Amino acid sequence: MTKEKLSKITEAQVRALASAQSFERGLSYYQDGALVEPVSQGMELGAECAGSEYEPYQISVTLDAKGIAGTSCTCPYDWGGICKHIVALLLTYVRQPQAFHTLQPLDRMLAGKSRDELIVIIQDLLRHKPELMPVVELTIATQRAKQGKPLNVSAYRTQARRALQHERPRSIERELKSLGEVAARLAQGGDALNAGAIYHALLDETVKGYDEMVSSMDENGDIASIVDEFAKGLGVCLAQSEAGPKTRREWLEALLRAELADIELGGIDLAPSAKDAILKCANREEWQWVEERLSKIFSADSSWADESIKKFLAKGRKKHGGKV
């Protein structure tokens, strides 16, 4: 590989992306040859690097015409700037571009393959990496949605549950974000109904799965912010789609569960957009159902939880009429 085939970047650019400590550690990793099999494929760079975990860290960098477009590493580093593993990969690219094994872009690599050949490739891949089966299921489900067919969201639910079982918060965040991005793309393409189905599944599973262990890992609230993005997305789809009464009720139920879960957790902003979506999108009949649910929980004492429910009820009654 030569530098001209991809964007030319400088060591100064790498320094600018990392803290001084991360850069020095990354330089040591580079000098020690810690990276395993660096590869380039199209505008992507990748490698593995041994770390403190049993599995090696997976490092990737995306380049564009201006230089470095994005970076990713499966290590737990989250203290500002890129990690030492990404620094090592970029320094290898700057100083030793010939160290990279060049692969054809995937679309070009597979372009001449027949349907049967592609099936064999996928089967072989899954034999070596069975954990990728949910990705295949998600891809098939999403392709059906793009063809205008009803979306089966069971694969999304399964993948969301698996994401929450990771021991590192960044792994949870990365997988949940990728699931949410599928829904966002469908929504941007005008398919609010299928996008809403995905957001509904993701919100439902993440609210149920946001237990004490996940909460203790989520020190900065980054996982909760993703849950809130699901609630926000579902609210938009509720407003824009032509969902029937049954689907609307299911979506509102998920939003209400998210709001009540946050109240039960003491108001950690698990999904503040859920309450906003209910107040904005519920019609009069739907609000009556929400009000009945909230009234059964409300005990009229002075606890923070009851004060929160009281304010929620007051806002809804002000919009739809009723005793505030």
From CA 23, how far away is CA 91, in angstroms rounded? 10
The candidate with the shortest Cα–Cα distance to 183, out of 159, 164, 207, 165, is: 159
Highest mean pLDDT, choosing among 150-154, 188-192, 218-222, 234-238: 234-238
pLDDT digits (tens, 9 = 90+) for 19-30: 999 999 999 999
Task: Give the model's pLDDT for residue 302.
Answer: 60
Kindly report, residue by residue over 28-69, the tens digit of the pLDDT: 999 999 999 999 999 999 999 987 777 789 999 999 988 999
Distance CA 82, CA 18 (A): 5
Mean pLDDT of the 76-100 span: 94
> Cβ distance 47 to 36 under 8 Å?
yes
List pLDDT tens digits, range 126-183. 999 898 888 888 888 777 766 667 788 998 999 999 999 988 888 899 899 999 999 9
Output the pLDDT for position 82. Answer: 97
pLDDT at 151: 81
pTM strictly above 0.85? no
- In tens, the pLDDT along 109-140 reads 999 999 999 999 999 999 998 988 888 888 88
pLDDT tens per residue, range 265-277: 989 999 999 999 9
Measured between alpha carbons, how far is residue 256 from residues 132, 222, 250 in Å?
33, 21, 10
Indicate whether 309 pLDDT > 80: yes
Stretch 7-20: mean pLDDT, rounded? 94
**Model pLDDT for residues 233-291, shown as the tens digit of each residue:** 999 999 999 999 999 999 999 999 999 999 999 899 999 999 999 999 999 999 999 99
Dihedral over alpha carbons 26, 28, 34, 40 (to 10 degrees): 50
